[in-house]
Structure 1
Amino acid sequence: MSVLSAPKISAVLIVKDEEAVLDECLAALHWADEIVVYDTGSSDATREIAAKYTDVVVEGYWDDDFGAARNRALDHATHVWVLNVDADEVFVGPPEAIRSALRSGVTSRSILVESVDENAGASGTVSIIRLFRKDLYCFAGRLHEQAVQRPGATAPLSPRPLHHVKLLHSGYEAARIIERGKGERNLDLARRDLAESISRGDSDAAIALRKANVARSMSFGGSFDDALSFAEAAFAEGALADRDLATLAKAMCATAMLLDDNEKVERWWQRWHDSGENPVWALAWIAPWLARRGMVDELLSVLDRIPTTVVDPSGERFLKVDLAPLHVWALLMSGKHKRAVGVAIDAARKGRPSLVPGALTELFDHAGLHVSALLTEIDDSLWMTLVMQCVQDGSRSSRRFLEAMNAARPGDAAVLLAGSALAPRLSLEEAASWAIELRQQGFAEECPLVAIAGNEALDPRQRAIAGAMAVDIYGDDRALPGLGDALARVAPDDEAELIAQLDIVAPGLVSAA
């Protein structure tokens, strides 16, 4: 099949106030056959920027449901294949890698999303299903939306990531904002607003608010030291209203963190906490900072002070379960394994992740419990997240977790395909076990024994034994080429031992091969 005859792809985004990042995102999608931008209520230049790249700019609406918004966006795509992208992500890699994947008969693929925060020095990569046929799949999940099968669809979602492409998630980095001049513009407006307020003879509280705005604009524009100095002077005057103080203190906490000035982080955080506003928001903010510094006891003390659910007067909701990864980690570090298990299970019950699969396996081991206690609690969205994390990690602990997932939901297609995708990492015993499971469920073409036999990067002895098992046990001739190649690569010193092993797993096959 040629590139021209490959299925067409619609790149689909949901956006709101994304002018700082949307240009770069859409420019990287120039190869897509169609770009659909569904706007949920922008007040900046987002729609105008989108219109430079596509005629399909939809003025949509927001109903506090990410999954529903993504599905409304899918409705405007005219092609069956859709690539779902966030506005602060940039596609990197050859588009042909995606085109090629569509020729292989698959109906979905995951893509590696690499997150980089240049200011905090943090990064990470996750595998997320972003490419699929919209007639077979849609989104589900109000907060952590995931691709799911549409009613009546039978094709399983594939956790296998595409090779050679990724989505680079950069977020709103300070350097990006400075480069585009937005910080400088905002600072000029804030200074003019302050001067006019003083000229009018406004109240001390009103002038203090405008001084706080100047400090925040300085930080937004990258002048971090100036921002902290100006904010300190504004605070010293004592005229800030509680809400305005809380807003300024939060911004200065983040500013001081960017400078790695822990003393100023603590000082401004205390002011935020004591501002008269609900302290839960300050407690929730400081928790990740304490974790990064390894302050386990302090982190647990903060978490103990946070209620299960908080809703502020504006309707903003905070759920303690969203801090489950930090909570489980802190309890694990303090040796409180059974409490950590309890938090992990509660988070799973509420559809929230805690630790990655390998770490969860080890946690339950330490607690003397089996991870099945958690697996019975999770929903389909979190289930797929864990499956893909198992594939991405591939460690023995993650593979054990995947085995437990298979036991919890026998015949689950995503789990079975993940077991197949891990073929290069499997021991022969594991490969034999997954081969049985896959073949029993009608996935003989995904047999890991065949995959191992044909993988030239693996030990030829392992390849030969895997190939022999596939041919002898299942009569799968697809393994013969790999078996022959592996035998030709075995070192002379290893031949006798290998022949003895082959006589056990597949008597008489070697001479025939």
Structure 2
Amino acid sequence: MSRLPVSVIVTASGSADDFRACLDSLRPTLGVRDEVLCVVPADRTDLHGILRGNPWLRVLHDDSGDQVRRWEAGLAATRHPIVVLLDGDVLVSAHWLDPLAQALDDPEVVAVGPRCHHTYGPQNAELPDEAMERVATFNAYARQWRQENSGRFSTVDALGPVCVAVRRDALDRAGGPTSDLPYERLREQGRIVVAHGALVAHVVTDLCSLLLPDVPDGAPLLSASLIVKDEEEVLAACLTALRDFVDEIVVYDTGSTDRTREIAREHGARVIEGYWNDHFADARNRSLAHCTGQWAFVVDADEIVTGDAASVRAQLAAATRPTFLVGVESEGAFGTSADGRLMSVRIFRRNRARYFRRLHEQVVDRVFGEYLISSQTLNDLTLVHSGYTLLRITGKDKAARNLRLAELSTDDVDSAESKLINLARSQLWAGQTAEAIENCRKGLAENPANLLERIAFLTTLAACYEQESRYDEVRSVLRDLREVSSSPFAADEIEARVCFAEQDFAGALALIQDFPDGEMNDSLFVVTRSRVAEIEIRSLYSLGRHDEAAQQLRESVRDGKLPLSVAMMAEVLRAGGTGIAEVAALLPESGLRTLLLSTASEPDGLVDELLDALWQRYTGSAAVLAGAARIGG
């Protein structure tokens, strides 16, 4: 089958063996009219000898040390209207160019890429270990792959940097190559496509030419990166708290209609007026592209950073690893603060990482696409997240938004299990429990190899049954969960809630009494006694152990935790001999915001009593005044 001739620009990369294997796999796949140009870094003398005696390619030496300059040099030396940019530590398979040329037969297509092992984005293809044992096993696997995926094409927003075919004139109009290639400007000119029938394999090595150099020591140490839309209520507090921790704040606005952009500028942030394409990872990456720091700190507008700024900066300055876990404490649906602590990769070296996935986006290696899971925690730093309070959930309509994005993601090129668990969780949150149950069962029937995904399906399925009061089925799921989880406490917490719902208060307390104080489970949640404080206090209260219930509540409040609604706290404290005013006396000032948020749907008389007590303790407090103004209109 004849096809368009192409110019292949190979940027020499990887070890000498990797580069030789790339050229050996490439040569038999070329047509008589194709041309190949290799751009070799001046300092890679180990690769120079491999290129001698190869008349089928031309060699260009480059001493810029910059991947974009290498691509530019190659483009200037080639002549065909279709150019393939190929990293030099890639194995290509037979006929890999044919599907790319087939896609470009459509004049609306401006760029196309093959599926690729170890890359970022929609091209990524996870290959089994046995397929990568030898060149012969890869070729056999690729042959079967080609037969199963022949003729399949998907339109996508962007491709990765490892291997892409692009129309030269479209690339010129887009301003030429960039480190990630200018996919946004290419997309303005036509469609970007993945050709599923073509398969290549990228070798993971520190010698990959696509790896960005370290950010210079003279650059800012830490950049805060935010994506926002209509966040005028919370953004000022977020940015004020950030000021001492970071050197710059980049706020990427996705279309606010309120004062969000003005507030950001008033707080010294650099505001980027961007857009929203129903894709969280894309928006995160666009924000990161405007940061200049050595490290990036990703924060949401409804998060408040707390901790020791000097200690955090000292840890970053001395760090040898590229990522850090940060503790995120979420305020609960009623303004309570006992929902637990999730450890999340929020700080990472800017040149090493990016985000992937439309919903519940994850940090991945910016070239190889592998998830960057950190084992080290950045001490003295916590984010307090108010995004799941009742007020925020209702006002931002997050359940409907997440369900829509989860449904859109089913067409994305990603792990089928990952997409299904995100959809099931979103359906559960939106009240579509029957649909969520069906998808959890479907996901489990596929027997996912990823243990964390299996645990996610089981915990979501248990939550679905719990929501429908199908407690026997909850316990059946918990038996399976205990078999695969390395920590018993996820199952114990769910079972404790079931016991409480069935009014087996003694059974609930028996499960809770062995809860640890600070153990991280499989899902990176830090399991603490405070996560089950509501069940413990309400079980004690229901058993008539009122003094114990009140004492447990007092200890939580002293720690800044609010495990119950305001009305329930008042009931427990009255039974213990006091009343809601004691909350004002015990609560540290750091917990004021959480408490005031929780009063939105409480009885007016009770809230008045609480506000009076808070005003007596914190006379002149702007937070108390703001809370009173919210309640009183």
Query: Do both share a fold (TM > 0.5)?
Result: no
So what's the TM-score if we normalise by structure 1? Answer: 0.44
Higher helix share: 1
With a CA cutoff of 8 Å and minimum separation of 6, indicate the structure with the bigger relative contact order. 2
So what's the TM-score if we normalise by structure 2? Answer: 0.37
Higher strand share: 2
